[in-house]
Amino acid sequence: MTDYSKLTKDELGKKLDDAKKEIESLKVEQIKAKSDKIKQEKAKNDPSNLNLAQKLAKAMDDMGALAKDGSNNSQGWTFISESAIKAAIRRVAGKYGFAIIPTKINKIDKYERKTSRGGTLYFYDVIQDFIVTDGKEQYEMQMIGTGSDSGDKAVNKAVTVAFKNLEKQLFNVSDQNDPDPDSETNEATVPAKESQPRKPGRPNNGTKNVKRTIDWSKPKNISDSDLKNHLVRYPNGTFVNVGTILAHVRKGNADAKKFADNLKGHDAIAYIELDRRTMIADAVNKIKEDKKQEA
């Protein structure tokens, strides 16, 4: 240890100067280290240094939850509108530097249905191709969409639905009114000859056909199982059995009731007959319960 009492004035001055230089050097190093850390953090969060997957993940996080801003007044339910989703995506896409580009449209089906008022609704099923890119990387994607209209807007609506579905799936935008695939189970199959003829290109529902014929002219002779498991196609292309539709109607689901009221052909026969049998069974059970209480 240095004995400063024995140092001359010049030696003490030199020691002081050395100490000041050391302190200054240390400060510079600390400032530089802090600056480097700040630069590293900025570089880490700079969108230009992120890959496409990281950009999409950060964009998803920035979007957060979206409020339901649309409503269906006739059926009494709310939803996240297409414009709200697009506005949120437009903001994060600009911030992180990527774009969603629609490309080829593939028409997979066209069909029509009569309305309860005697009109005609025209349906289109399409598969829309998309490219998600930041100019360096790109992901190729597809999404299905179904649109209906009494005029010439069915295709436009189908493409719009496909785009909205892609945006919701890509950024995990949830809507409480969207059906959960695990919420229902279709147990049965549609016998090949009793279902309405499938039009060319109609998506297969993936069920196995049973080789037997149902006489739809005598609905009272059809088994409960065949009635419950008869599959009906929703406008969005999915299939649901009649038993599930009736269960939703009996629970007061307005959408299911409206859909059931517009059923035609074998679909209507299966629903009406199953509903009749269910009401009879309920009445019988009620009588049995009343007799038990009287006893």
Residue with tokens 């307005």: 254
Q: Is the dihedral of CA 46, 47, 52, 53 positive or negative?
A: positive
**C-alpha span between 212 and 84 (Å, rounded):** 50
Choice among 13-27, 44-58, 210-224, 260-274 with the minimum mean pLDDT: 210-224
**C-alpha span between 243 and 260 (Å, rounded):** 11
**C-alpha span between 16 and 10 (Å, rounded):** 10
Given a cut of 80, whether residue 276 has pLDDT beyond it is yes
Specify whether the CB–CB gap between 135 and 152 falls below 8 A.
no
**C-alpha span between 153 and 229 (Å, rounded):** 33
**C-alpha span between 210 and 44 (Å, rounded):** 59
Q: What is the arithmetic mean of pLDDT over 56-60?
A: 91
pLDDT number for residue 186 = 41
pLDDT number for residue 271 = 87
| 142: helix, strand or coil | strand
Given a cut of 90, whether residue 97 has pLDDT beyond it is yes
Given a cut of 70, whether residue 93 has pLDDT beyond it is yes
Q: What is the arithmetic mean of pLDDT over 258-263?
A: 86
pLDDT number for residue 229 = 87
pLDDT band at residue 22 under the 50/70/90 scheme: confident
Given a cut of 80, whether residue 132 has pLDDT beyond it is yes
Given a cut of 50, whether residue 208 has pLDDT beyond it is no
**C-alpha span between 31 and 189 (Å, rounded):** 73
Q: What is the arithmetic mean of pLDDT over 199-217?
A: 53
- What tokens were used for 84? 């709200």
pLDDT band at residue 203 under the 50/70/90 scheme: very low
Given a cut of 90, whether residue 117 has pLDDT beyond it is no
**C-alpha span between 62 and 219 (Å, rounded):** 56
Given a cut of 90, whether residue 48 has pLDDT beyond it is no
Cβ-proximal residues to 161 (8 Å cutoff; 6+ apart), any chain: 145, 146, 147, 236
pLDDT number for residue 190 = 39
Q: What is the pTM of this model?
A: 0.47
